[in-house]
Amino acid sequence: MFKKLMYNKKIAPYVFILPFILVFIIFFISPMINTVIMSFQEVLPGQREFVGIKNYSKLLGDKVFLKAMYNSFKYMVWTLILLIPIPMIFACIINSKLMVGREFFKSVFFLPALTSVVVAGTVFRLAFGEQGTSLMNQFIGLFGMDPIKWLKIGSTGFITLLVLACWRWTGVNMLYFLSGLKNIPEELYESADIDGATVWQKFRYITIPQLKPTTIYVLTISVYAGLAMFTESYMLWAGNNSPKNIGLTIVGYLYRQGIEKNAMGYASAVGIVLFAFAMIINLIQLKLNGTFSKED
């Protein structure tokens, strides 16, 4: 019977994808449904009580939650500003025929992504410490500046997070763009050279348009990564309690409510809002860049 199913051209494909479907249902769909249900409940040890939209209405007046939303949104926007054009430019430079040591630079840029985020966060916390002997304070001291309490001030703490993000993810995004550059026909650049196009004109009218699919992909995953950032902040401030919540993110607030305070119902509402927020932003940007056309 099983052999008949395996050799049946109509049924066999479904048999092969069945493991994925089961994993998807068990580890994604089922938890998602349970989270939605819990967001309308007050979850206590051994019991659940339906409270309607109380958890969601509470979010609207929760200043700490709004602060976390603002921090995550700002972080997401700035990582998009930095981690799309900069890796794209680096990819174009490394892909250039004049580039020497191409494979070496690929490895150097990608190496930070292989480093544990726990280790990276700890190293950056020490480098941006408030002591005069910390690396960054020694650096600014060369210019006659006084030591800065980097992680206790909102602006400098945010800059530290961005530096960590750029150090860790520039190489990854650069490799995405390098793979996209490999798919651009060389004939386009040869035709542009014959027409006397400058380097900037070739980059603007050939490279950027041809990299659109790669850019959309990087943009999509970067939106999610920016909103879902947690471990970097947690390690940078050695916990989930940064001064005046300057490093608190939506996921960090979810962790605080669900794990630290055991308010699973309220934490579920935070998670659903985060999911909806990420989906809405991505759907908007996909619509604006033409991924969802009328013909589709």
> In the chain, how many domains are there?
2
Q: Are residues 212 and 154 in the same domain?
A: yes
Is position 10 within any domain? yes
Is position 117 within any domain? yes
Q: Are residues 177 and 252 in the same domain?
A: yes
Contact present, 235 and 118 (Cβ < 8 Å): yes
Q: Are residues 82 and 20 in the same domain?
A: no
Q: Are residues 9 and 155 in the same domain?
A: no
Question: Which alpha helices (DSSP H) does 128-205 contain, by range?
Answer: 135-141, 154-182, 186-194, 199-202
One digit per residue, the tens of pLDDT, for the chain of length 296 reads: 556 666 667 777 777 788 888 998 888 889 889 999 999 988 877 788 898 899 999 998 899 999 999 999 999 999 999 999 999 999 999 988 888 888 898 889 999 999 899 999 999 999 999 888 899 999 999 998 999 999 999 999 999 999 999 999 999 999 999 999 999 998 999 899 888 889 899 999 999 999 999 999 999 999 999 999 999 999 999 888 899 999 999 999 999 999 888 889 999 999 999 999 999 998 898 888 877 655 54
Q: What confidence score (pLDDT) does residue 125 get? A: 94
Q: Are residues 33 and 143 in the same domain?
A: no
Q: Are residues 76 and 205 in the same domain?
A: yes
Neighbours of 69 (CB within 10 A): 21
Is position 296 within any domain? no
Q: Are residues 243 and 138 in the same domain?
A: yes
Q: What confidence score (pLDDT) does residue 251 get? A: 94
Q: Are residues 72 and 190 in the same domain?
A: yes
Is position 261 within any domain? yes
Q: What confidence score (pLDDT) does residue 256 get? A: 93
Per residue in 43-79, pLDDT (tens digit) is 877 788 898 899 999 998 899 999 999 999 999 999 9
Domain range enclosing 24? 1-50
Q: What residues pair up with 49 in beta bridges, in sequence order? A: 42
Q: What confidence score (pLDDT) does residue 296 get? A: 46
Is position 42 within any domain? yes
Per residue in 160-188, pLDDT (tens digit) is 999 999 999 999 999 999 999 999 998 99
Is position 205 within any domain? yes
The helix/strand/coil state of 194 is helix
Q: What confidence score (pLDDT) does residue 92 get? A: 92
Contact present, 204 and 92 (Cβ < 8 Å): no
Q: Which of 15, 33, 50 is the last residue of a domain?
A: 50
Q: CA-to-CA distance for 10 and 130, rounded, in angstroms?
A: 66
Q: Are residues 93 and 183 in the same domain?
A: yes
Q: Are residues 16 and 114 in the same domain?
A: no
Please list, residue by residue across 161-193, b when 16 or more beta carbons sit within 10 angstroms of its beta carbon and e when fewer do: bbebbbebbbbbbbbbbbebbeeeeeeeeeebe
Is position 11 within any domain? yes
Q: What confidence score (pLDDT) does residue 262 get? A: 87
Q: Which of 50, 68, 83 is the last residue of a domain?
A: 50
Which distant-in-sequence residues (6+ apart) come within 8 Å of 75 by Cβ? 158, 161, 162, 165, 226, 229, 249
Which distant-in-sequence residues (6+ apart) come within 8 Å of 290 by Cβ? none
Q: Are residues 75 and 172 in the same domain?
A: yes
CATH code (residue 237): 1.10.3720.10
Q: Are residues 82 and 34 in the same domain?
A: no
Residue with tokens 């989906």: 279
